[in-house]
């Protein structure tokens, strides 16, 4: 169990750090340790018939396993510095883009060669947004789709499995610094030793990461948490945007509170899904590249960013408490018609059934105003009316809102320009670092650190 490099977590950051290290120095002995399952064994038990809602599996197949939480996402790789993380603050703007473009070349050479690369540089749409105080962010977007994303990940694993040792269903409980490097202790008592250690445990490893940082005296700072809903409506409402841009990242500053609200993770003709983060059920969305798997709906998140100051430090706990309230009232995710929300009435099974929008997720009809704080709810309603000006039909009565959607951001781990902590030889990458918040940035951070280690 002695290695030159040990990587904790087989999400995008861990995969691409392993890929690049193997490419640059095939002689390295590398171990990749993952709490979840191999890709082919990642199966959520929810089938819509026998099991209709989350049963709180010990390890969530959607959130954990090879590919990380992004494995069953819609596979959007946004090549931009405007959102998705702050990697450019550590490596420079040009280098960050070059790293993301390199990741894109790997994805396209491992099964994604037929997928489209969209650009958000449409002057007409941008002008229409600006006329309504909406701001369209610049980005190039590679959309793999949930189906092609799976193929790319499988091809990457097939290439790496004989070059590195993969340990699945292995949860690391303790990371110790030694004279020779790092010693990792698993929940089963296994001991892994490595001269260098990369931690890439994703957003779902936020609490674990804080514990490790505390034990190794690595400084951290509280980060933000984004709270909101997932909107589902007929695909035709946003077709003029999604056909051209696919992923339209739109930011709006509300008049009432001056809060920032943004669209996130747009899934044209996709489906709404459950997520389980640390035992809390939240909502997300997926979409597919294969036209045979298209639905009649488009879904996207509306998220309100919440930044906290002293003395409060646990932003994730704030988000979790709101999600727990939703779970308590609805047994999981709650769905509500926009018209019912505006009229101050809860949605019922009858009202949902009579809606012109057929839900793609089996959620509990209810009242989101009992769950989401008034400030955030007012922000979301104001944003929906603003979007209705560029995509008429967004504010229709039958538009569905699923809640809650929470984007947890790991506390900001103190790292240098190489994403190395104060403990030399210990690197923190991907979303668990608080530096990245997306597939492309997390993958790029893995490449960056692998190159630094191999250069050393």
- pLDDT at position 221 is 84
Tens-place pLDDT, residues 236-256: 999 999 998 888 889 999 999
Q: 194 pLDDT exceeds 70?
A: yes
- Nearest CA to 57 among 266, 271, 331, 281? 281
- pLDDT at position 48 is 67
Q: Which residue did the predictor score with more confidence, 293 or 207?
A: 293
Q: Which residue did the predictor score with more confidence, 3 or 434?
A: 3
> Whole-model pTM?
0.81
Candidate from 63-77, 128-142, 378-392 with smallest mean pLDDT = 63-77
Tens-place pLDDT, residues 419-431: 999 999 999 999 9
Q: 173 pLDDT exceeds 90?
A: yes
> How wide is the angle at C-alpha 300 spanned by C-alphas 65 and 247, nearest 5°?
85
Candidate from 17-26, 119-128, 304-313, 379-388 with smallest mean pLDDT = 304-313
Q: 271 pLDDT exceeds 80?
A: yes
How many whole angstroms separate alpha carbon 289 and alpha carbon 116?
A: 10
How many whole angstroms separate alpha carbon 50 and alpha carbon 52?
A: 6
426-428 and 191-199 as β-strands: parallel, antiparallel, unpaired? parallel
Most confident listed range (60-64, 78-82, 96-100): 96-100
Average pLDDT, the chain: 93
- pLDDT at position 427 is 98
Rounded to an integer, the average pLDDT of 246-267 is 92
Tens-place pLDDT, residues 105-118: 999 999 999 998 98
Q: Which residue did the predictor score with more confidence, 78 or 222?
A: 78
Q: 408 pLDDT exceeds 90?
A: no
- pLDDT at position 312 is 75
How many whole angstroms separate alpha carbon 448 and alpha carbon 385?
A: 42
- pLDDT at position 119 is 86
Candidate from 36-40, 105-109, 376-380, 410-414 with smallest mean pLDDT = 410-414
How many whole angstroms separate alpha carbon 2 and alpha carbon 31?
A: 9
- pLDDT at position 115 is 94
Q: 378 pLDDT exceeds 90?
A: yes
- pLDDT at position 308 is 75
How many whole angstroms separate alpha carbon 215 and alpha carbon 194?
A: 18
Q: Does domain 2-118+141-221+413-455 have CATH number 3.40.50.2000?
A: no
- pLDDT at position 301 is 96
Tens-place pLDDT, residues 320-346: 899 999 999 988 899 999 999 999 999
Burial degree of 296 (CB within 10 A; 0-12, 13-18, 19+): exposed
Neighbour-count burial for 55-74, b at 16+ CB within 10 Å, e otherwise: eeeebbbbbbbbbbbbbbbb
- What is the percent of the chain where pLDDT is above 90? 75
Render 336-387 in DSSP notation, one character per residue: EEHHHHHHT----HHHHHTSSS--SS--EE--GGGTS-HHHHHHHHHHHHHH
- What is the percent of the chain where pLDDT is above 70? 99
Tens-place pLDDT, residues 14-59: 999 999 999 999 999 999 999 999 999 998 887 767 887 777 787 8
- Report the 10 Å Cβ neighbour count for 325: 16
- pLDDT at position 246 is 82
In the DSSP assignment, the letter for residue 72 is T
- pLDDT at position 306 is 82
Domain ranges of the chain: 2-118+141-221+413-455, 225-408
């Amino acid at each position: 169990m002695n290695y030159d490099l040990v990587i904790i977590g087989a999400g995008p950051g861990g995969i691409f750090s392993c890929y690049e290290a193997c490419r640059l120095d095939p002689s390295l002995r590398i171990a990749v340790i993952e709490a979840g399952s191999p890709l082919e064994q990642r199966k959520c038990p929810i089938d819509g018939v026998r099991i209709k809602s989350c049963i709180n599996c010990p390890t969530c197949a959607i959130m954990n396993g090879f590919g990380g939480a992004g494995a069953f996402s819609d596979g959007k790789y946004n090549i931009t510095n405007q959102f998705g993380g702050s990697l450019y603050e550590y490596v420079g703007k040009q280098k960050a883009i070059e790293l993301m473009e390199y990741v894109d070349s790997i994805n396209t050479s491992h099964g994604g060669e037929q997928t489209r690369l969209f650009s958000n540089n449409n002057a007409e749409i941008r002008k229409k947004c600006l006329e309504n105080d909406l701001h369209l962010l610049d980005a190039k977007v590679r959309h793999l789709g949930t189906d092609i994303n799976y193929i790319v990940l499988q091809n990457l694993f097939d290439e790496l499995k004989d070059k590195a040792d993969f340990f699945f269903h292995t949860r690391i409980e303790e990371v110790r610094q030694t004279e020779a490097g790092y010693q990792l202790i698993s929940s089963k008592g296994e001991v892994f030793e490595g001269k260098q250690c990369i931690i890439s445990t994703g957003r779902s490893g936020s609490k674990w990461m804080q514990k490790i940082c505390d034990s190794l005296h690595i400084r951290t700072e509280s980060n933000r948490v984004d709270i909101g809903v997932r909107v589902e409506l007929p695909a035709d409402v946003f077709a003029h945007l999604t056909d051209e841009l696919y992923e339209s990242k739109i930011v709006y500053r509300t008049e009432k509170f001056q809060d920032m609200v943004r669209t996130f993770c747009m899934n044209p003709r996709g489906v709404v899904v459950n997520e389980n983060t640390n035992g809390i059920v939240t909502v997300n969305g997926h979409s597919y590249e294969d036209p045979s798997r298209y639905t009649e709906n488009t879904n996207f998140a509306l998220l309100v960013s919440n930044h906290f100051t002293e003395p409060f430090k646990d932003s994730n706990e704030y988000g979790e408490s709101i999600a727990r309230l939703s779970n308590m009232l609805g047994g999981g995710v709650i769905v509500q018609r926009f018209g019912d929300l505006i009229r101050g009435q809860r949605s019922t099974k009858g009202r949902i059934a009579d809606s012109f929008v057929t839900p793609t997720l089996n959620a509990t009809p209810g009242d989101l105003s009992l769950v989401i704080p008034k400030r955030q709810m007012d922000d979301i309603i104001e944003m929906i009316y603003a979007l209705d000006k560029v995509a008429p039909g967004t504010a229709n009565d039958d538009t569905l809102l699923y809640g809650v959607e929470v984007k947890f951001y790991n506390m900001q781990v103190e790292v240098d320009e190489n994403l190395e902590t104060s403990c030399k030889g210990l690197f923190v990458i991907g979303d668990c670092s608080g530096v990245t918040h997306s597939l492309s940035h997390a993958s790029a951070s893995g490449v960056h650190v692998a190159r630094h280690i191999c250069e050393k």
